[in-house]
Structure 1
Amino acid sequence: MEIKNRPEPVNAANLFIEKYFPNCDGAILAGSVVRGDATETSDLDIVVFDQNIHSSYRESLIEFGWPIELFVHNFTSYKDFFESDAKRARPTLPRMVSEGVILKGENVIVPIQCEADEILAKGPEKWTQDTINIKRYFLTDTLDDFIGCDNRAEGIFIVGTLAELVSEFVLRTNNCWIGKSKWIVRSLKEFDEDFASRYVKAFDTYYKKDDKKLVINLVDEVLQHYGGRFFSGFSLGKK
């Protein structure tokens, strides 16, 4: 992709809105270019609000030398996404709206940003004890698979599942938002930088040295606060 002499992110986003959505009610530029942690492969996340759009949609394209991820909503659809994102504990759209730089329609965008801020501040729905027990069981089951595994190829993928389950358990039991991919580490850092560092070190040590001890110790530490490993007595769906 040609990146020389391309416009700065905000300028490029404004040019994009002027070209494709000149009559929209509001628009926001979000993502890494706004947060200040952009890389060479970062794109522009642009959220558009247009009351004349019948249904929301997402589109990826390249314009003005930038890869662009476009999210288009009307004044009903964004509320549905806010709600669904909150239920799954991954506030993708609320976070984009909250952090975004307003490109157009400040009087429209500011109240929506306030809605997003309220959702983010409230946090996800608290897990019930039944949910915690279910998650403990599956975390224990995966840990047992990992401990007993003597096949390096299988272990690589078991530990990947274990990493996701651990991060989810830690964050949700502490009423924090979760993430996937790069947002796993980012979410853990927002919660506790020391734990995030130990989490990364544990899994990195396994990948580099085939040493399971730090991962096992980390999982046991996480489970200890909720009764430890859980296998005997687990039941699901029994009447």
Structure 2
Amino acid sequence: MDHVEIARELVRNRFPEARAAFLAGSVLTHRRTPASDLDIVVLLTGPPAPFRESLVHENWPVELFVQTEVDWRRFAERETAASSSPLLAMCAEGMLLTDADGLGAVLQAEARARLAAGPPPASAAELEDRRYFLTDALDDLHGCADPLERAYLVAELLQQASELALLAGGHWLGGGKWLSRRLAVADPGLHSRLAAGAAAAMSPATGAAGQFRDAVKEVLDAVGGPCWAGYTRRGD
């Protein structure tokens, strides 16, 4: 039995009353590996939804995201406000396993439209805040002589620079591998320069961080340049 049938069987046996269910994630793509899990979104009419559960079924790791339609919309709105919506992505790009009353098709069409529309524009204040924190971390890297500290600084800078580039360009954010994949689609060249530069910057070799600093500066220059002297915020 393949992964799709295993996912469908799990939903059928555990959630016979499901209104809809989606199978999503790398398991549906060429990126599937022996460690890939089955990400399954299940729509119910009420309790025990909402809940999230991790389990192993037929030797497959499974992540269940069980919701009602109301929960789905609440989660989608909350994630959209944060410019990162794995729920919309799972339903837009996933496979419908079951659709008892048409809800699955409706939510998939809505998820695709909302995902294509992009996240809400980042405010000028948010972009300036991110420029400030990225500038500050880049200054720390420039003066860092400890190779262990440098590893942490490079990791922080890679995430911050990638997120700033995505937000400034009106693209969705992501976490971990999905941050890499979002930037690779939005700007393949920048993604390559940041990732390759970060790998080089982890090296203790003299000057190895130069390539990475240049890539981070590229991100800063695209949104107004470094921001530090004169930066101020009122309130909390």
TM-score by length of structure 2 reads 0.94
Query: Counterpart of 1:229 in 2: which secondary structure?
Result: coil
Distance in 1 of aligned mates of 2:174 and 2:39: 17
Confirm or deny that 1:216 pairs with 2:210. no
Query: Counterpart of 2:56 in 1: which secondary structure?
Result: strand
Percent identity over the alignment is: 32
Confirm or deny that 1:152 pairs with 2:147. yes
Query: Counterpart of 2:75 in 1: which secondary structure?
Result: helix
Within 5 A, what are the aligned runs for 1:10-21?
A: 10-21=4-15
Is the CA contact 1:202–1:218 (under 8 Å) kept in the aligned structure 2?
A: yes
Is the CA contact 1:61–1:69 (under 8 Å) kept in the aligned structure 2?
A: yes
Q: What are structure 2's unaligned runs of at least 5 residues?
A: none
Within 5 A, what are the aligned runs for 1:74-223?
A: 74-105=68-99, 107-208=102-203, 210=205, 211-223=208-220
Distance in 2 of aligned mates of 1:227 and 1:192: 18
Partner of 1:237: 234
Query: Counterpart of 1:28 in 2: which secondary structure?
Result: strand
Confirm or deny that 1:49 pairs with 2:17. no
Which residue identity is paired with 2:174?
Answer: G
Check 1:131–1:52 CA distance in 2 against 1; reply closer, same or farther (3 A cut).
closer
Residue 226 (structure 1) shift = 2.7
Which residue identity is paired with 1:85?
Answer: E
Distance in 2 of aligned mates of 1:187 and 1:23: 35
- Cα deviation per residue 1:82-132 (whole Å; 9 max; x = unaligned)? 111111111100000011111111622010011111210111111122221
Distance in 1 of aligned mates of 2:214 and 2:61: 42
Is the CA contact 2:24–2:94 (under 8 Å) kept in the aligned structure 1?
A: yes
TM-score by length of structure 1 reads 0.93
Is the CA contact 1:55–1:74 (under 8 Å) kept in the aligned structure 2?
A: yes
Residue 160 (structure 1) shift = 0.8
Residue 54 (structure 1) shift = 5.3
Partner of 1:3: none
Is the CA contact 2:52–2:64 (under 8 Å) kept in the aligned structure 1?
A: yes
Count the aligned residue pairs. 233
The one of 3, 22, 35 aligned to 1:9: 3
Distance in 2 of aligned mates of 1:40 and 1:54: 31
Distance in 2 of aligned mates of 1:130 and 1:64: 49
Check 1:111–1:47 CA distance in 2 against 1; reply closer, same or farther (3 A cut).
same
RMSD after superposition: 1.5
Confirm or deny that 1:228 pairs with 2:228. no
**Following superposition, which runs of at least 4 residues in structure 1 exceed 4 angstroms of deviation?**
none
Is the CA contact 2:52–2:63 (under 8 Å) kept in the aligned structure 1?
A: yes
Distance in 2 of aligned mates of 1:69 and 1:238: 40
Residue 52 (structure 1) shift = 2.6
Residue 222 (structure 1) shift = 1.3
Q: Could you tell which deviates more after superposition, 195-204 or 40-49?
A: 195-204
Which residue identity is paired with 1:144?
Answer: D
